[in-house]
């Protein structure tokens, strides 16, 4: 049987391929890090929403079904359920 001749890339070609593979791997690692940050941010947002809901329920018990003006804190009764 005849031996197959082994071919190789030139050093420039090999370096070029290695650089692109390295850049792709680095990008994938950055994306993974960003996904982890995104997950943490979503968890934090969910906690904040739960706390906001508790505060809203407390205020609803105290003031009834009202809308709150976040700029100045004034309360407006909601039309669907006027306070008596």
The model's pLDDT over 17-30, given as tens digits with 9 standing for 90+, comes to 999 999 999 999 99
Separation in Å, CA 74 to CA 22, 33, 65, 67, 71: 58, 43, 13, 8, 8
Q: What is the pLDDT of residues 35-78, one digit of tens each?
A: 999 999 999 999 999 999 999 999 999 999 999 999 999 999 99
What confidence score (pLDDT) does residue 4 get? 85
pLDDT band per the 50, 70, 90 thresholds, residue 3: confident
Whether 67 and 75 have beta carbons less than 8 Å apart is answered as yes
pLDDT greater than 90 at residue 83? no
Instruction: State residue 42 phi and psi, 5-degree precision.
Output: -65, -40
What confidence score (pLDDT) does residue 2 get? 73
């Amino acid at each position: 049987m005849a031996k197959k001749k082994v071919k190789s890339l030139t050093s420039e070609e090999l370096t070029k391929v290695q650089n692109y593979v390295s850049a792709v791997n680095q990008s994938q690692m950055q994306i993974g890090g960003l996904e982890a940050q995104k997950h943490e941010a979503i968890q934090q947002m969910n906690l904040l929403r739960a706390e906001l809901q508790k505060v809203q329920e407390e205020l609803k018990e105290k003031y009834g079904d009202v809308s709150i003006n976040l700029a100045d804190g004034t309360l407006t009764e909601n039309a669907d359920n006027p306070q008596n």
